[in-house]
Structure 1
């Protein structure tokens, strides 16, 4: 299968990736693309068998139709975990894999960094420093508190493991409820209405699917404790923006950290920027030094399987979205 194999690598920086690719498979034909437009052109002219693609440029339309069209590759390796930008595809023609798990540990650290920002009262400590004042601040431990993880995929499971190190009680949801390490109670997503009010910290890390779009709505915020902390590292569209903005404006919960948005980059006139007790980050919870090369290593391991005719790891079901 390797004879005449054509591979496209699509990322903003590709030098190290291309070097690793040629080292692992020196006989293949490869092309680097550094924009969505270049990728679309390459599909028509180069006609790759395999495309490794990182969705790094949201300012240009992603060439979904070209990737999944007649000239598109037989295998698309998504450099991240989310595949909602591809929509649906014909699995008889196109195989899609992702890099699920490559950033789960980092995302779990990010979740707790955000939670600790509020439980340790970092904003007021910073203000005290700026004011050169010395009031005694009462910090709040995570030990004994309840964490609700909405989505027990690899990221959710990494969050659960770290939660146990803090001594938390862990609740979680997944599409097919079954026991999960470090999780005290595993529920179906349909149980969320009765779970929101039990949680002191809520981590949202589900993929964007028809079943999860708008999952965290006004009713969810209304059910949360006024002392709750929400951290969203899922995908834009899982949380209803109007509901989040309303809840934070009214002070319905203690704090929230939003790493993902329906429109990215977040427009300068978005109400999110002015919300109180809110952290805003540019979809960076999974971005750490070396993540792209770690993801590419996963691709290279899968490429060996592809060349050997073996089944690939991390194949995505377009109906499930993961």
Structure 2
């Protein structure tokens, strides 16, 4: 016997998901809401059992208190992988799942694309073209034999590792509970980072934002990195100390940095980060591709089927661990 449910879909455009839900689970009572404003009133009126929710306008102003309040659902299915806009919560009162893994392949492509941007000197070639200059001795920088450090070997970190090994990179990485990981040559605990920064030619950040990871990459870590290292941040804003990065880039301590996440999003127009050289900036879009939203919702539908049958849910998040 399957359970019935009331489902709230809280996204910027709930209509396609409402249609897909009606197709997959006919007769389910559902409602959509496309704003942060007024969510509390919707919850009080509709009293959903489940909310599928995406932080579609960023963390600032997200109606966390409403979702976790007395009118909130017993299960919140987060449409993305990050849950720092909800933490902390009481696991005894509400179950939170995420969509980790849905966008891992796309994020890995972003990481390798950013790395190749710097190793191939795409900016330099563009400048030569603009100047109609033909340098006779331009050299490419191969990835083979270099070392990549992946800070956070979750779904995204592992997808990056698989692609990095295909390029001939040596891969080292960290995870909360060190154990062998496919395509990773060395796995360490995060307490080993002080000894790992200086070994890496490429540093990739893919950890959740937690009290213990906030400011993880600070001035000391940046100074410890190789002066020609490449840094790619696809974690969460706040893991990398923005002020420390600005100082490091101005001092020429890194070859380049690719930043997809920021402490304040959208990045303020007066932020000095906009003016840094050798920096790629993207608007928290490394996980976003044409079909991403519906792929995430398909994972939710699979989980909803489990919920109706009383089976364990996939991707249940521990707020203390962030995943």
Class of the TM-score when normalised by the shorter of the 2 chains: over 0.9
Shift >4 Å, 4+ stretches: 1-4
2: CA distance, partners of 1:141 / 1:183: 19
SS of 2:57's equivalent?
Answer: coil
Q: Where does the alignment leave 5 or more consecutive residues of structure 1 unmatched? A: none
Deviation at 1:309?
1.0
Q: Say if 2:223 and 2:253, in contact at 8 Å, map to a contact too.
A: yes
SS of 1:57's equivalent?
Answer: coil
Q: Where does the alignment leave 5 or more consecutive residues of structure 2 unmatched? A: none
Deviation at 1:58?
2.8
Deviations 1:226-270 (A, max 9, x none): 110000000000001111000001110110011100100000000
Say what the alpha-carbon RMSD is for the aligned residues: 1.2
SS of 2:208's equivalent?
Answer: coil
Return closer, same or farther for 1:167/1:3 CA change in 2, 3 Å cut-off: closer
Deviations 1:214-237 (A, max 9, x none): 000000010011110000000000
Report 1:1-322 matches (<5 A).
5-58=5-58, 61-136=61-136, 137-322=138-323
2: CA distance, partners of 1:16 / 1:7: 14
Deviation at 1:38?
3.9
2: CA distance, partners of 1:319 / 1:276: 37
| Larger mean Cα displacement after TM superposition, 2-11 or 270-279 | 2-11
Q: TM-score, normalised by structure 2?
A: 0.98
Q: Say if 2:3 and 2:308, in contact at 8 Å, map to a contact too.
A: no
2: CA distance, partners of 1:295 / 1:233: 18
Deviations 1:57-96 (A, max 9, x none): 1386111111111111000000000000001111111000
Q: TM-score, normalised by structure 1?
A: 0.98
Q: Say if 2:4 and 2:308, in contact at 8 Å, map to a contact too.
A: no
Deviation at 1:41?
2.3
Deviations 1:144-190 (A, max 9, x none): 10000000000000000001100010000000000000000001101
